[in-house]
Structure 1
Amino acid sequence: MKLNRVRRRSRDLLKVDRLIKLPDDVLLNILERLGTLDAVRTCVVSRQTLNLPALLSQIVIDLGDLDLQRKNRGVADMTDKILSTRSPQIPIRNLKLRFIMRGDDHLKIGRAVALAMATQKIDAAEFDILTKDIYYRRSDADLLDSAKLFNNFIGECADAFAGLTRLHLQNLRFGESDIPNILATCKRLESLRLLHCDARKLPVLHVEHARLVELIFAYAKFSTVELGCLPELRRMTLHRWIFDNLDNPLILGYAPQLSKLTLAHAFIINRTLKLSQLLVNVPSISDLHLDFQSEKVWVLPECPKVLAPVLGKLRRVNLNNLPEECDIAWTMFLLEAAPSLEELCITVWDHKCQLESQKSYSQKTDVNWEPSNPGFKHNNLSRLTIFGFQPNDNFMGYVSRVTEAVENIKEVSLYDRKVCKHCVDKFPHLGVRPWSCPQTSEEVDSFRLEIAEVIKGRAMAVASTHKVGHDSI
């Protein structure tokens, strides 16, 4: 046993020795592919490499939640040491720090970053700030305490925040001036992500910034989110958005470059949103992702004449997790209103394990839709993808209707429903829908011919199955 350990130790030392003999530029290239903490540990093995951490152009300290709980102080100490020993002549291409606001650890990090920003060139800087209770079930008092701690942090280290390009926050309850203060302080900010944050006493959360490119709200609760002047905004995501204001939950103001919009799992009761009203000020949308989380369809099908002015540049649409009881024919309204649409992906799936409870938050509803022009033609759609496909009238009729309307479709991809082990484990009494798509190669070939006949030979039909533990056919 001892002899084996000695041999392994010798082999490891030989590998390190070979590594150390490489030129510094090659070593730096290797080290920058590691996390910064691993790079520093690697460099302490030899006097020849002790100076290399100070030469790194990327400083990324991005530990997982459990590691941070144990090593947050070490992250603060290491950040301070690395930044304080760097030469001002060596620019930092990317600075990314993930840490917990706890004790004075965050203040030590903030002061070290502020000093570095005053003396060095930093191209991109990111703070991913966690609260002392990393997990998300927080009381009102916890949210308020965390917000107070953060406000003190940004006040003490305003110079550090002024140079940030990305900021991720969680578990905060914002007051009236908090978001405006964050945006005013973070002058270089390009990406803002809020997770499990709210502003219950704030009637309107107003967002305005000259350089913001990306905005992400996840598990956030606000009365109304209003985007003011955001001339550089290109991507926006609302995931599990909860709004108290049923009239105007989201107001998109001046965002002329907004091209990618993701709206997922809207907690809106007894209301449907009109895209023509929601997108009236942002006609540059090219990528639209709507996730219904297997619940209520909260988007109202509209007449193409009304909707077309805001969907003229739409290229890709992803309609995810539509409820299985709903006829998917209503989705044709998007095809009618978006003449430039190239890709349409639909997922039909009752993904129950992600719901708040077995009873849906929003009662499932079918959607009534009638084509405005039964003879309309579409010239640009090239790809139709359906997950949750079943060879019944609902899906077969839909494929036939789409391919009849589309002149130049190139690919139709059809997949079985996605199967989630957690859904089966959590709701075993609901059972699993029987598999009714073709399985053998002969059945698949026959089905391809049937689909090809349905689409009258104008498309290349790809019929696939997708099951947990099985490869696609």
Structure 2
Amino acid sequence: MQIVREDWIGRLPDDILVNILDRLNVLEAARTSVLARRWRRLPPMLSRLTIDVRDFVAKSATTCHEEEIARNNATMVEVTKSILARRVSNPNSISSMCMTFFLRDDDCISIGHSVEHIMAIHDIDIEFTVLTDKDATHCNLDSMIDYGRLFMLFFDASPIAFGGVTRLCLENLNFGELDIPNILNTCKGLKHLSLSHCCSAREAIVQVEHSQLSELLIVNCRFEKVKLNSLPKLTWMMFWCWKSQDPLLLGHVPLLETVSITNHCLSWQKLVELSKFFGGASPRYLWLGFECEKIWVQPESVTERLAFVFRRLTFVHLDKIPEGCDLTWTFFVLEAAPNLKELYLTVWDHLCIMRTNKEERSALSYSEKKGVEWKSAASDFQQHSLATLVIFGFQSDCMVRYVRRVMEVAVNLKDVFLYHRLNCKLCRHSYDLNRPLKYPSNEEEKSTVLKKLTGRINSSATIHFPVLNMISADQAAKRAIVPLL
């Protein structure tokens, strides 16, 4: 007896099937046309087009050589032109286009002109992710200057296309003094801007001012200073690894909700006072990363200015605090943030990303003294909002006193999660040989640590010793260094 399987998916209405296909890239959506006759008419009905040059790379390839990059980019350009040409007279509207391609002379200009042609018929949002054929590790200043000039030629040749850009991701570019202001002025609908491994003219101040920009990502960029003049809709900002003393000036950012700041602090850099760093901003969610090096935050007594900056904080994650540092300094956050509900600490010497050679560290001005000292001005303060304390890299020989103190001052604390050091296959061997972590490994040791934590203090908090591979999705997401991206 032959079993006939019903095509339940194929019986769905066109609009539902198109909604499903809209979540695929163009190549995957096009392949569905071979499933059945009725599927053939669906790809031309897509409202969102996602075209990524990396989808044209053979799955077996691990790296791309220059000839392959040129060939794949050219193929993508021809596919893009063909798709858009067929959609010019199509009654089904396109709402957005997400395009990822390599920065190459004629290819980019062809893409820009094709996009402008379709924009004359359809009102669409454009997303551009512009890649360079050299990655950041192989880009010197001359390469970045060449890429910067090439991008600006592309930009100047496609003003209408960039006028429709809502998301722009750029890498490995050198900008002239007026390039970024010109880009922002042309991309009037821009909502997300990502700059990775970019630089600017020496001593130039990068001015960022835009009426619609809501997300700003600046990672490993060599800018002398970034000035956020007026960003009335900015809600999310990530600023990662600066190389100058005072890299960021925050102006008018009234809606700023989420901030992630990370730095390799060198010996010559002064500690940053967050009350001055944030200016008039008052975020709700704050990630501060220390990259296993010197603490770059200056603990502060509670002043009117600091209280204003921290007044809305509900979540703080202090990431990659170097091992062996006294954690007492973190109490200034508890004192100044009355609405703080969750405090996460990741204490980790991540050896495979650290510079450990003493001569190299000295030559690059890395600091050997990584901790910071601070004594609370209010020894008897109480924190009434904190409900959750999470520590990754808990050490039972040096952190018991810190956890006890948090349990004492956080009078409504409900849960304390104490995790082992985070796993890393690349640096695990070095840990095993040189840096054993004193973490309770069995029930007897956990019971002993538990007694030390709770003895003679009044706290109803529940202490957990969870297994790292059982970390909840919620805690894993909150620990991430790139939040809400």
| TM-score between the two structures when normalised by the length of structure 1 | 0.88
Deviations 1:50-70 (A, max 9, x none): 332220012112354982825
For residues 99 and 231 of structure 1, the distance between their equivalents in structure 2, rounded to whole angstroms, comes to 31
Shift of 1:89: 4.2
Shift of 1:331: 0.5
2:53/2:73 contact within 8 Å kept: no
Corresponding residue number in structure 2 for 1:7: none
Deviations 1:77-109 (A, max 9, x none): 222222222256433333211000124222221
- Count of aligned positions: 450
- 1:422 pairs with 2:423: no
Corresponding residue number in structure 2 for 1:289: 287
Corresponding residue number in structure 2 for 1:404: 408
Shift of 1:431: 2.6
Alignment of 1:378-393 (within 5 A): 378-392=383-397
For the structure 1 residues 146 and 193, does the alpha-carbon distance in structure 2 shift closer, same or farther, using more than 3 Å as the test?
same
Alignment of 1:213-228 (within 5 A): 213-228=214-229
For the structure 1 residues 290 and 298, does the alpha-carbon distance in structure 2 shift closer, same or farther, using more than 3 Å as the test?
same
Alignment of 1:300-379 (within 5 A): 300-305=298-303, 306-356=305-355, 358-359=357-358, 360=361, 362-363=366-367, 364-379=369-384
For residues 138 and 28 of structure 2, the distance between their equivalents in structure 1, rounded to whole angstroms, comes to 32
Shift of 1:233: 0.7
2:341/2:388 contact within 8 Å kept: yes
- What is the root-mean-square deviation of aligned Cα atoms in Å? 2.7
For residues 384 and 63 of structure 1, the distance between their equivalents in structure 2, rounded to whole angstroms, comes to 43
- 1:433 pairs with 2:432: no
Instruction: Output the amino acid matched with 2:350.
Output: H
Instruction: Output the amino acid matched with 1:297.
Output: I
Alignment of 1:72-91 (within 5 A): 72-86=73-87, 87=89, 89-91=91-93
Shift of 1:338: 0.9
Corresponding residue number in structure 2 for 1:204: 205
3-state SS in 1 of match to 2:399: helix
Unpaired stretches in structure 2, ≥5 consecutive residues: 58-63, 473-485
Say which is worse superposed, 181-190 or 65-74, in terms of deviation. 65-74
Corresponding residue number in structure 2 for 1:51: 41
3-state SS in 2 of match to 1:221: coil
2:81/2:111 contact within 8 Å kept: yes
Corresponding residue number in structure 1 for 2:297: 299
For residues 129 and 81 of structure 1, the distance between their equivalents in structure 2, rounded to whole angstroms, comes to 21
Deviations 1:305-359 (A, max 9, x none): 2521211111111000011121011100111111111111011111122135534
Counterpart among 263, 281, 286 of residue 261 in structure 2 = 263
For residues 180 and 432 of structure 2, the distance between their equivalents in structure 1, rounded to whole angstroms, comes to 44
For the structure 1 residues 444 and 93, does the alpha-carbon distance in structure 2 shift closer, same or farther, using more than 3 Å as the test?
farther
For the structure 1 residues 454 and 471, does the alpha-carbon distance in structure 2 shift closer, same or farther, using more than 3 Å as the test?
farther
1:65/1:134 contact within 8 Å kept: no
For the structure 1 residues 239 and 149, does the alpha-carbon distance in structure 2 shift closer, same or farther, using more than 3 Å as the test?
same
For residues 151 and 304 of structure 1, the distance between their equivalents in structure 2, rounded to whole angstroms, comes to 47
For residues 357 and 117 of structure 1, the distance between their equivalents in structure 2, rounded to whole angstroms, comes to 53
For residues 441 and 218 of structure 1, the distance between their equivalents in structure 2, rounded to whole angstroms, comes to 43
Counterpart among 25, 35, 40 of residue 15 in structure 2 = 25
1:136/1:171 contact within 8 Å kept: no
Unpaired stretches in structure 1, ≥5 consecutive residues: 1-10
For the structure 1 residues 18 and 109, does the alpha-carbon distance in structure 2 shift closer, same or farther, using more than 3 Å as the test?
farther
3-state SS in 1 of match to 2:139: coil
Corresponding residue number in structure 1 for 2:480: none
1:352/1:358 contact within 8 Å kept: no
3-state SS in 1 of match to 2:129: strand
Deviations 1:197-232 (A, max 9, x none): 001324211111111101111110011111101111
Corresponding residue number in structure 1 for 2:115: 113
Deviations 1:403-455 (A, max 9, x none): 11112111111111113221246xx4983432432223444355445434465
Corresponding residue number in structure 1 for 2:464: 462
Percent of counterpart pairs with the same letter? 37
- 1:36 pairs with 2:41: no
1:80/1:109 contact within 8 Å kept: yes
Deviations 1:159-178 (A, max 9, x none): 11100110000111010111
For residues 107 and 185 of structure 2, the distance between their equivalents in structure 1, rounded to whole angstroms, comes to 24
Corresponding residue number in structure 2 for 1:61: 51
| TM-score between the two structures when normalised by the length of structure 2 | 0.86
Shift of 1:134: 3.9
For residues 86 and 457 of structure 2, the distance between their equivalents in structure 1, rounded to whole angstroms, comes to 67
Shift of 1:376: 0.5
Shift of 1:39: 0.9
Corresponding residue number in structure 2 for 1:251: 249
